[in-house]
Every structure is written in C-alpha cells, then in structure tokens.
Amino acid sequence: MAQLHNLGFPRIGRKRELKFAVESYWAGKISQEQLLDQGKTIRAENWVLQADAGIDLLPVGDFAWYDHVLSTSLLIGAVPKRHQKADGSIDLDTLFRIGRGRAPSGCSCAPSEMTKWFNTNYHYIVPELTHDQQFQLTCTELFEQVTQAQALGHNAKVVLVGPVTYLYLAKCAGEEFDKLSLLEKLLAVYQQVFAKLAQQGIEWVQVDEPILGLELTEDYQEALKTSFRALAGQGVKLLLASYFDSVTAYFDDIAGYPVDGVHFDCVATNVDVAKLDILLSTDQVLSLGVVNGRNIWRTDLEAVFNSIKDIALKRGDNLWLAPSCSLLHTPVDLEQEEKLDDELCSWLAFAKQKGQELSLLKAALESNDSSELVAYSAPIKARLTSTRVNNTAVQQRVTALTAKDGKRNNAFAQRIEKQHAALNLPLLPTTTIGSFPQTQVIRQARRDYKAGELSAGDYQRQMKAEIRYAVEEQEALDLDVLVHGEAERNDMVEYFAELLEGFAFTQFGWVQSYGSRCVKPPVIWGDVSREKAMTVQWTKYAQSLTSKKMKGMLTGPVTILFWSFIRDDLDKPTIANQIALALRDEVVDLQNAGIDIIQIDEPAFREGMPLKCSQWQAYLEWAAYAFRVSASGVKDETQIHTHMCYAEFNGIIAAIADMDADVITIETSRSNMELLEAFENFDYPNDIGPGVYDIHTPNVPDIAWMKTLIHKAARKIPVARLWVNPDCGLKTRGWQETRQALDNMVKATKELREEL
Ligand code: GLN
Ligand code: ZN
C-alpha cells in the first residue's frame, strides 16, 4: 500500500511563532535557551500536525532557524572567516551572524548574500566557499532533531540539501575557481553524516537535488553521478528528490543512480507517470509529487486517483505519494482563516490540508473506491464554470487583445520629442522612485482606519496632509518631477489587489520570504477587473498642490502576478493580461485627469524567469507584452516610466528594451554604475535613470560622490537621455536623512548641468 511523506513542512509555525521567537532573541528579550525551546515546540507541533493528517514518514532536517541552506553550511562547517569565532566553535549566533551580519554575541560584520531559491519567492543564504575550502562535520543540530523526533515516537525521514545542489548554489569567495573541485571533500563529510544517521537508526534520507530541474552542464551531470555513487552504501536508504521543473532530460542518468527511490514533481509540468514507473525498477521507491506544494489550491484528487491507480496496484509499498516539493512555500493551516467565505475555502488547501488530501487519496487507493474523492474535488470542478470566477467581459477583452494593443502609437524617437516639448524638463531631470518615509504616524493611521477606529473621512484627511507634506518637501528640494509619496499604500501589491476584483486576502496565509521575514501574498482566485479608479483622486490632489509635474505611480501586471498566489486554472500570460487591462484603464484615467508622467513599477519582472533558459524567451515576450498593454493606451505626449530595483540585467536587456517604457529607473549605485554597461553594449534606446544612491542605508551620500557616479553614467549613456534619482523608494527611510540625501542629489545635478 502506498506510503505518504512530506518533503518538508513550513517552519514558521501556525502563527509565525518562529519569527517572533527569533526576533525576540535578537532583541535580547529572550535567552538562547528559550529560543531553542521554542524551536523544539514548533518542530513537535509540526510533526503532530503532519502525523494527524495521515503522513507516514515525517521530515526531519527541514526546520531551520534562518534558512536550510545556511543550516547545511553549518552542518558541514562552511563558515566564512569573518563570521567565525576566535576559538573556531560554531553556535546559533554564528548562524545569525552569517545570515544577518549580527547576533547577540560576537562581532558585527557583513552578512552573506542572499538570493532567490530557484523560481520561488524564498531566499537562501549563499554559501561562500574558498578554493581551498575545508569541510568538517561540525554542527550536531540535525542529529539532535532526529533524536527529538524519535523520542516522540515518529517515523523520521531525514531531509538534506544534496551536495551537488549545495555547490551549485554557492559562490566563490575571492578568485573564481571550479566549485566542483570541492566535491570530493564535501562528499566525505556527507558520508560521515549518513553514517551517523544510520547509527541513529534512520532508514531513509531524502537528498534534494533540485538543480536537476535546470539545464545542467556536463560536469554537473557527472558530479551527480559521482555523488550518488559516494553516498550509496552508507547504511541509509537514499531518496533522490527533484522538484520545480521537469527532469526528463536526465531520465537515463536518474535510472542509473544507485539510489533506493526517486521523487518527481508531477505538477510543475505535465508528466507521464507511466514513464516514471517504467524508469525505476519495481524494488525502487517511486515517489510522486501529486499535490502542488507551492500553491494554496485544493487538488483534483479524482484526476490524480485515475492517473495513478494502476501504478499503485503494481507498486504497493514502493509507491510513495507527496506534495510536489517542500511545503515551505505554502501557509500552514486553512482552518485558522475566519474571514474567507465557505465557497472560497472549498477551493483552498494549505500545508495541513495538503497532507489530508494525500490521506484521502491513499484511502481511496486502498479501497479502490474514489467516491470520497469525487465529492472532495467537486467544488474545484464547479469553480471552472462559476460565474463568480468567470467574468465574460474580462475574458472577451483579453481574447480580443492584438499586437496593436501592446504598442504605443508611435516609436520612442517621435514620442520623446513631443514629451520634451510638453514637459519642458531640464537636462538630467531629477525625480524619486515613488514612496517617501512611511512614518509611525502613517502606519498608525492605517491600522486605526482598518480597525474602524478612524473614520474614512479622517483617514482621507490625514493621508492628504501627508501628501501635502511630501509635495512641499519636494518643492523645497527643487526636484523636477514630483511624486505623491505613497502614504496611503501599505504595500505596492496589496494596495492594488484590495481595489481590484478577483483577489482575496487571508489572515494567516504567511510564507517565509527570508530569515524571519514572511509575506502574505494576496490570492488571485477569479478574473481580474477594475471597478473604479484606484489612484486618480490621490494623484490629482497631489498635482493640484504644485505647478511641477506630478508622476502617477502604479504597480505593473507582472509584479502583481508574481507577488500573489495565482489561480491554477488559468495560464500566467492570461492572468497578466487581465491585470494589464485593468491597469491600462487606470493609466488612461490618470492621463485624462491631467497627469502627464506615469510610472508602472515592475520590480518582479526578472523573478518570473523560468528555470530553463530555453524557456526564457517565451516568458520575456509575454511579460513585456503585458507591461506594454498596461502602458500603451496613452497619447505620445504622456511619458511612461518603469522601475526595477536590482542589479542583474544579464540576458534580459533586449526584453527591457522591448517593454518600451519612455524612462526606466534602475538600481545602480552599489555597482558603481557598472551595470549600465549592459545597457550601453545593447545600445538601449530609451531614457534611463540609474540610481545614484543606495536607499538601503541611512548614510547620506555626498555631492562629490554622486557627481562622480553621474559622470560615469554619462560616459555610457548620452547625457540627454539620463535621469537622476535614488536606487529605489524611500519608504523605509526617515525624513531627515531623506531630505539631506535628496538635497545633495539635486545640488550634484545642478553643478553638473553647469559643467556638462
Ligand atoms: N514605487 C515603489 C516605491 O517607491 C517601488 C518599490 C520597489 O521598487 N520595490 O516604494
Ligand atoms: Zn525599487
């Protein structure tokens, strides 16, 4: 009979207990012992929750204080020099020093970098390895967690980041070298880990090698073979886990690995489970990830049942069923939600419910009776034709979209001339990215308003006062293009999601983003439409306060899409186009209300890139198209800006040019304008505002420094096409440093206008 397992469970706790405990520890409010206790409690609760849901094999090793890649670094003793303690010992504070640059004990120093975990919104801490890196079994936490699970009577399966994925994700500290040259040394430590786990009585170890979902060079393919050969025969059974994308290209390799089982993601792409069944011998475990581990939707169990029932019959115990990947990317428990209506709830499943789904599936397979599954799947089948979900007008509008809708009336060269004439801006126009400091007072007002303690009228008045303040400050600073400051916005996606149709909000739908930071993405459950204007009143008010140009501020379709939980019954390009059309109407309304410059932020544009490079082009095309649909309803004179805050444009410059925004502002100050080279080499045709100062620190940049940066920029991009602005929005900053920094920025620009 099929066995159920989880690849990993959310570690943050039902009510984000881990976040609060860790942050209290950092703030010195609880002791390390209390923190350790809290971790223990969360793990114990998670196991009970999974066991109660019917999971047979429970993951151990999926818990992490900060990040599981960082935990792996500690396990194998890969601690950057600057984070080491004088005596070489490693403790919890070492881990926090690597993750965030400081901890209650030990020195403060730059944290290790973090970056996105494959194509998810989770960020891991990038291991820093030297060419002569030594590994050593150092941290014993994993073994203690095994002991804890065993003492509680659980059937534990240990979960580890595989050695090859670990090396792939690491970066070279100092000079570049071939990271795979470290594999042998690393494998020796993994062997020790496995031997120890065997001693503890662990039967199964799940080795995660998600890099199999990428397009691997031959040396990495070889490294995987070497790795499994080395790890086999250490006294534990090996379950290779792949996820996030299809691994078909490596089927032959996978069939040859000396492993006892393989897990496949059956939801990321269309997989033929019969082929997987043939691939593995019948004495190997075939683990099928049939429940989506990355979303919040109920599974069509009836369909799953039909696709796997023959395999289940044939494989018996050697068929395992699981979510597609770790449930790290899913909120914990739907039962906590009190505000979602029953129909919506009947379409959803969080981590706990996904376990229950597997249990239902197993029972149906055992009894060869799918009637319960039919009943369970009925709501999501009904969703397909629900009039609540389907909005015919929206669907018709999307279907009717043509290439022309994704095109401005004229080319940039013509538009910019008209814009110059209409806007009358000086050389090197100065502007900001949108938000001004979100002060305590602003946040409090929003909380009070939401809690019903502040009337709508009073809230409006207060926000208007904040807007007036921001406008007056900008006039005093003599900036050229002003913004209203985004005082009324809690978050750049949530704000719009709340005003658009087709979105829902959870109370406890948190998922870990990085370290102690969690996000609560809105849920796109239906066709998206805009009932009424969302930003026009605020922007018009702001414009009424000044004779300078007020820049309207919107979040783009691609960013709204990727920072939400998206429906699983519609393809991404279609959802993006729905959002784009809603935004297009907003852009036109802003223009008609007298707003001549409109910025459509797309910080998540790069995030949506598929894992396989062969699919990038298709993605970039639909993403750029959706952006253009949102931007192209306006006349030539209306200037469209976009903003992206990151420093990695390799491979996407053509797509950025394809977005055809009149002006793009980007983050460049920390790269010393080097990143502009990509734009220079491409002959990027439109206007660019390379950020001239880093907004992540309160340090005030000096005039000379910013002048140097702008000079550098002017050597790469014709000065007539340059704008001057900070790297990103200023919402996390205080007013005093903001005022000083912008004052210096404007002074630097004015001096340069004289000199250039
Ligand atoms: N307009 C937004 C702001 O200034 C942009 C934020 C972002 O790029 N992440 O806050
Ligand atoms: Zn930004």
- Model ipTM? 0.99
Q: Are 624 and 659 in contact (CB under 8 A)?
A: yes
pLDDT the model gives residue 632 = 98
Find out whether 436 and 738 touch, Cβ atoms under 8 Å.
yes
- Phi, then psi, of 207 in degrees rounded to 5: -105, 110
Amino acid at 494: E
The number of C-alpha atoms within 13 Å of 56 and in the hemisphere containing its C-beta is: 14
| pLDDT bucket at 142, cuts 50 / 70 / 90 | very high
Q: List Cβ<8 Å contacts ≥24 apart for 367-375.
A: 368/309, 370/301, 370/302, 370/305, 370/306, 373/301, 373/302, 373/305, 374/302
pLDDT range class, residue 669, cuts 50, 70, 90: confident
Binding-site positions for Zn(2+) read: 643, 645, 667, 728
Chain centroid to CA 275: 32
643 lines ligand 1 (CB under 6 A): yes
Q: Is the dihedral of CA 403, 406, 409, 414 positive or negative?
A: negative
Residue 82 confidence class, pLDDT cut points 50, 70, 90: very high
β-bridge mates for residue 287, sequence order: 263, 320
Tell me the H-state helices in 55-171: 68-75, 92-100, 141-151, 163-169
Among the bound ligands, the one closest to the CA of 602 = 1
Answer whether 111 contacts ligand 1 (Cβ < 6 A). no
Mutate to test the pocket of ligand 1, among 121, 431, 432, 433 (most ligand atoms within 8 A of CB): 433
Site to probe by mutation for ligand 1, drawn from 435, 645, 665 as the one with most ligand atoms within 8 Å of Cβ, is 435
* Residues placed in the known binding site: 16-19, 116, 433-435, 486, 517-518, 563, 601, 607, 643, 645, 667, 728
- Check: CB of residue 242 under 8 Å from CB of residue 265: yes
Q: How far is the CA of 665 from the centre of ligand 2 (A)?
A: 8
| pLDDT number for residue 650 | 81
Ligand 1 geometric centre to CA of 434 (Å)? 6
Element (H, E) at 726: none
Q: Which atom of ligand 1 is nearest to the CA of 555?
A: 1
Q: Given the CA of residue 489, which atom of ligand 1 is nearest to it?
A: 10
Sign of the dihedral defined by the CA atoms of residues 669, 671, 674, 677, in that order: negative
Which residue's alpha carbon is nearest to atom 6 within ligand 1?
729
Average pLDDT over residues 84-103: 90
Q: What is the pLDDT of residues 328-341, one digit of tens each?
A: 999 999 999 999 99
Kindly calculate the radius of gyration of the chain based on its CA atoms and give it in whole angstroms.
27
Assess whether the C-beta atom of 485 lies below 6 angstroms from ligand 1: no
Burial of 263 (0-12, 13-18, 19+ CB in 10 A): buried
Catalytic residues: 696
pLDDT value at position 647? 64
Residues 6+ apart with CB under 8 A from 70: 64, 95, 98, 99, 112, 124, 125
Give just the sign of the alpha carbon dihedral 621, 394, 633, 532: negative
- Determine the distance separating the centroid of ligand 2 and the alpha carbon of 198, expressed in angstroms: 48
Residue 514 pLDDT > 70: yes
Cα 122 to ligand 2 centroid, rounded to whole Å: 18
Are 484 and 553 spatial neighbours (Cβ–Cβ below 8 Å)? Answer: yes
Residue 751 CA to ligand 1 center (angstroms) comes to 28
* 4: β partners: 321
Q: Which residues, chain by chain, have CB under 5 Å from ion ligand 2?
A: 645, 728
Question: pLDDT category, 670, cuts 50, 70, 90?
Answer: confident
Percent helix, strand and coil across the chain, each to the nearest 5: 45, 15, 40
User: Which residue CA neighbors atom 1 of ligand 1 most closely?
Assistant: 434
**CA separation for the pair 411, 3 (Å, rounded):** 60
Which of 643, 644, 645, 668 maximizes ligand 1 atoms within 8 Å of its Cβ, making it the mutation to test the pocket? 643
pLDDT tens-digit profile of 115-125? 999 999 999 99
Question: What single string gives the DSSP state of each residue in 652-712?
Answer: THHHHHHH--SEEEE--GGGTTTTHHHHHHHT--SEEEEB-S-TTS-PPPPHHHHHHHHHH
Task: For residue 187, give the 3-state DSSP assignment.
Answer: helix
Closest CA to 665 of 535, 483, 404: 483
Q: Is 403 exposed, middle or buried (0-12, 13-18, 19+ CB in 10 A)?
A: exposed
Cα–Cα distance measured from residue 223 to residue 626, given in angstroms and rounded to the nearest whole number:
40
Averaged pLDDT score across all residues of the chain: 96
- Whether 476 shows a pLDDT value over 80: the answer reads yes
pLDDT of residue 127: 98
| Position in ligand 1 atom list of the atom nearest CA 434 | 4
H or E segment at 60? strand 58-60
Please work out whether the CB of residue 487 comes within 6 Å of at least one atom of ligand 1. Answer: no
The residue among 265, 218, 261 whose CA lies nearest residue 120 is: 265
Detail the residues annotated as belonging to a binding site for L-methionine. Answer: 433-435, 486, 601
The alpha carbon dihedral of 660, 666, 671, 672 has a sign of: positive
- Please give the distance of CA 712 from its chain centroid, rounded to a whole number: 32
What number is the average pLDDT over the span 277-288?
97
pLDDT confidence of 532, banded at 50, 70, 90? very high
Q: Report which protein residue has its CA nearest ligand 1's atom 10.
A: 729
* CA angle, 588 then 591 then 593, to 5°: 110
Q: Which region holds residue 283: left if phi is over 0, alpha if psi is between -120 and 50, else beta?
A: alpha
The strand ranges marked E within 292-393 are 319-323
How far is the C-alpha of 166 from the C-alpha of 209, rounded, in Å?
Answer: 8
- Distance, CA 649 to ligand 2 centroid (Å)? 14
- Alpha-carbon distance 205 to 231, whole Å? 10
Q: Is 7 in the pocket of ligand 1 (CB under 6 A)?
A: no
Query: In the predicted model, is pLDDT for residue 88 greater than 80?
Result: no
Residue with tokens 């039902």: 14
Mean pLDDT, rounded, for 476-497: 97
The ligand 1 atom nearest the CA atom of 433: 4
Rounded CA-CA distance 305/315 in Å is 15
- Asked whether the beta carbons of 336 and 352 are under 8 A apart, the reply is no
Distance, CA of 93 to CA of 107 (rounded, Å): 10
| Mean of pLDDT values over 490-496 | 95
Spatial distance between the Cα atoms of 420 and 153, rounded to a whole number of angstroms: 73
Is the pLDDT reported for residue 645 higher than 90? no
CA-nearest residue, atom 3 of ligand 1: 729
pLDDT digits (tens, 9 = 90+) for 325-380: 999 999 999 999 999 999 999 999 999 999 999 999 999 999 999 999 999 999 99
Report the atom number in ligand 1 closest to the C-alpha of 599: 1
Q: What pTM, to 2 d.p., does this model score? A: 0.95
How far apart are the C-alpha atoms of 529 and 122, rounded to whole Å? 29
Residues 122, 329: contact at Cβ < 8 Å? yes
The pLDDT value recorded for residue 696 is 86
Output the CA 436–ligand 1 centroid distance in Å: 10
Q: Is the CB of 728 under 6 A from ligand 1?
A: yes
CB of residue 602 inside a 6 A radius of ligand 1: no
Using H for helix, E for strand and C for coil, what is the string for 556-621?
A: CHHHHHHCCECCCCCCHHHHHHHHHHHHHHHHHHHHHCCCCEEEEECCCCCCCCCCCHHHHHHHHH
Residue nearest to atom 9 of ligand 1 (CA): 603
pLDDT in tens, 25-76: 999 999 999 999 999 999 999 999 999 999 999 999 999 999 999 999 999 9
| DSSP three-state, residue 185 | helix
Which of 583, 728, 733, 742 is the best mutation target for the ligand 1 pocket, counting ligand atoms within 8 Å of the beta carbon and taking the most? Answer: 728
Please, what is the Cα angle at 57 between 54 and 58, to 5 degrees? Answer: 90
Residue 675 has a pLDDT of 85
**Which tokens sit at 82?**
């600057």
Q: What is the mean pLDDT of residues 88-108?
A: 90
